[in-house]
Amino acid sequence: MKESNELQERAPKLLSQIEPIENWRGTAIKKREQLKEFVEEPLLSACEELYDKNIQTLSSSANKKDIEIGDVGIVIDFETLSEENRKIGLFVGKLSEGDGRQQINISIPVDKNTTVKDVQTRAMEIVHQFQKQPMLWAEVYTLEDMQKAFPPDPENYNEKEYFDEIISYGYYYDPESKYFFLSKEHYDKTHE
């Protein structure tokens, strides 16, 4: 009995054992650590590398449902890629239109015997080809934008208290540019 448990522990983890993460695709990633809430284990390290290279991942899927489809993949925003990364994207993936944007679909064939390690290895081989680029997709907001999204109380408006409230939601304010960023991490990435 003990021997069979040890064999199971040493057996490679199969893609068929990965449950889907059903979080909404349009959620803005404010911090790298959020990726694990949206990206399944087989593609997590690849999506983290893309994030570190300032490449916007729109979606990814690598779970047991993908075995029936025959592939897993990552979708990258083509419009925010540097010229060099656009060429790489066209080489490693397929250009398509989705959600009103041009995107690169990177696809990795899978079957019932595919392991998590197989997917991780192939995905990393692909994303290693991309180059680090300026962050071209950081969302920035003016004070007026924020006031539309989070209307202040006109009777008791205090700018410092209002800014403190916005920042409590995770936004970051840059006094130099006078822009709000989705997070301090996004601000830092745009100023690398």
pLDDT tens profile 183-192:
999 999 999 8
Q: How far apart are CA 182 and CA 167, in angstroms?
A: 9
pLDDT confidence tier of residue 6, bands split at 50, 70 and 90: low
Q: How far apart are CA 113 and CA 147, in angstroms?
A: 53
Domain boundary (127, 149, 165) is at 127
Phi, psi of 83 (to 5 degrees): -60, -45
Q: How far apart are CA 79 and CA 48, in angstroms?
A: 19
| Residue 132 is assigned to a structural domain of this protein | no
The answer to whether residues 122 and 144 belong to one domain is no
CB distance 29 to 51 below 8 Å:
yes
Q: Residue 181 belongs to what domain range?
A: 140-190
The answer to whether residues 29 and 108 belong to one domain is yes
Domain count, the chain: 2
Q: How far apart are CA 153 and CA 163, in angstroms?
A: 13
| Residue 44 is assigned to a structural domain of this protein | yes
Proportion of the chain above pLDDT 90, given as a percent: 81
The answer to whether residues 62 and 154 belong to one domain is no
The answer to whether residues 96 and 180 belong to one domain is no
Q: Evaluate if residue 62 carries a pLDDT over 90.
A: yes
CB distance 181 to 190 below 8 Å:
yes
Q: How far apart are CA 141 and CA 95, in angstroms?
A: 30
The answer to whether residues 84 and 161 belong to one domain is no
pLDDT confidence tier of residue 22, bands split at 50, 70 and 90: confident
Domain boundary (73, 105, 127) is at 127
The whole-number pLDDT of residue 5 equals 55
The answer to whether residues 98 and 184 belong to one domain is no
Q: Evaluate if residue 55 carries a pLDDT over 90.
A: yes
